[in-house]
Every structure is written in structure tokens, then in C-alpha cells.
Structure 1
Amino acid sequence: MGMMKEFKDFAIKGNVIDMAVGIIIGTAFGKIVSSFVADVIMPPIGVLVGGIDFSKLAFTIQEASENIPAVVISYGKFIQTAVDFIIIAFAIFMVIKGINSLKQKEEQAPKQPAKPSTQEVLLTEIRDLLKNRS
């Protein structure tokens, strides 16, 4: 039972759950960006450069024969993936930049001095009474 309890403690910790949620959201975000690039960005770019469908751009190394499929380098898919990466990297950059600016504002905010404890207040009063006495 010790191992099960240890695993349960590990799995229930906030960091593990936060990480899992982040991975799930990141995966969904990646799919959205991939669709955005493939279905929204690349078609107009293809029209601008002469009606090219980037997803079908490929360089054939060896033609297909009988039961052997063609060997191709699909550089069009690579271009789409590179655009996906750039958009995702930019989005993450903007999120981190926003978080950093919030942290900076928090650090620059004037900090109020901590209120002295009741013991410190009492000792200060005793010190002041002793000063006035002499």
C-alpha cells in the first residue's frame, strides 16, 4: 500500500494536475493553429504566389511502381508546419511577455513596510520611557 499512497500523493499534487491541463490545452491550441494555417493562411498565400496548394508541394525522388509507393519529399507540408511553429511560438512569446510585464509591475509597486509586532511596539515604548526618564 505504500507505493499506491505515494503515487496518489504524486498524482494529486497541484503541479502535476496543472501540467496535465497545460498539455491538454497546448495540444488543442496546436490543432487550432494547424487548422488556421492550413485552412485560412496558406490558401490566400497560395493564390498570391500563383494558385499553389502548399500541402501538395513535393519533390519526387522515385516514381511509384506496381506495389511500391512513390518516394517523395513533401516540402509543402514542411512549410505549413514551419508556419504553425512560428505562430505558436509568437503566441507563447506574447503570453510570457504579458506575464513578465505583470510581474515587473508587481515588483515595482511600492511596498508598505510591515507593521511591527506587538512585542516590538512594547519594546519601543519601554525604550522611549527609559529615554525620557533620564
Structure 2
Amino acid sequence: MWKDFRAFALKGNVLDLAIGVIIGAAFGKIVSSLVNDVLMPMLGLLVGGLNLTGLQFTFGGAVLKYGAFLQTVLDFFIVAFSIFLFIKALHKFKRKEEDKPAAPPKPSKEEELLAEIRDLLKQQQQSR
């Protein structure tokens, strides 16, 4: 069972997924900081000092903090768009690598021998 698990865990796809999750979490924190610390203050200045996280509605004894929800939704869209652009750039670089022509494979010993035989037969036919 341990061998099967190790073979599964060390497959490229699982490792790539784990790396992607870790980088995605770190990237999400960076984009959240960008939204909270850079974009939202500028957006607040543009709309007259409005702070979305402070928006709330009191309904009886319950407080509905819809501003915090709007902030989270905005964070999600910015993170999703940033990841979309990042993946699009990665695919563009990957396509460039795939478009490069590969060197032709070296002929095998059998192919080299057959080519020599062919050349000898051509020489014999030309000498007749």
C-alpha cells in the first residue's frame, strides 16, 4: 500500500497540483493586499471617500455587513482575473516552446545500414 501511495504522490500531476495550490494561496494573499491596501483606497477617493467595508444595514437586532461582502466579491473577481492573466501568459510561453521545431531524430543503426545498401544499389545502377 505504501508503494502505491508513494507512486501516486510522486506523479507529476499531483506534485504540480500541490505546487499550484501553495502558489495560488500566496498569490491570493498578494492580490488581496493589492485590493485592500491600494485599489480600495483609490476607489474610495474616486467615489468621495466611500469605504465599502463599513457599509452595513441594521435589521432589528441583526447587523448585515453587506459592505464586507461586496469587498470579498471584489477581491474574488480581481484574484480570478489576475490568475486568468497569469495562466494566459504561461500558455503563451508554453505554446512558443511547443512551436519550436524539434531536431530530427538520429537514424537507428538499421536505418543507416539500409541507407548504405540503397546508396550502393544506386551506384550499381548508374555504373551500368
What's 1:35 paired with? 33
Aligned partner of 1:107: which letter? E
Letter in 2 for 1:85: F
Q: Which structure 1 segments of 5+ residues have no match? A: 65-69
TM-score (norm 2): 0.78
Q: Which residue of 2 aligns with 1:51?
A: 49
Instruction: Tell me the amino acid that sits aligned with residue 19 of structure 1.
Output: L
2:60 to 45, 58, 63: 63
| Partner of residue 117, structure 1 | 108
Maintained 8 Å contact 2:44/2:50:
yes
* Separation (CA, whole Å) in 2 of partners of 1:83 and 1:26: 17
Q: Does 1:105 align with 2:96?
A: yes
Shift of 1:24: 2.0
Which residue of the other structure, out of 72, 86, 93, is the alignment partner of 2:77? 86
Q: Which digits, 9 at most, give the CA deviation of each residue in 1:10-67, with x for residues without a partner?
A: 334343233223212212221222222122211221122122211011233x232xxx
Given that 2:56 and 2:63 are in contact with CA atoms closer than 8 Å, whether structure 1 keeps it comes out as no
In structure 2, the partner of 1:24 is 22
Match for residue 7 of structure 2?
A: 9
Structure 2, gaps ≥5 residues long: none
Q: Say whether the 8 Å CA contact 1:46–1:53 is kept in structure 2.
A: yes
Q: Name the CA shift for 1:105/1:4 in 2 (closer, same or farther; >3 Å).
A: closer
| 1:67 paired residue number | none
Identity of aligned pairs, percent?
57
Which one-letter code corresponds to 2:15 in the other structure?
Answer: I
RMSD across aligned positions (CA): 2.2
SS at match of 1:115: coil
Tell me if the contact between 1:34 and 1:81 (Cα under 8 Å) persists in the aligned partners.
no
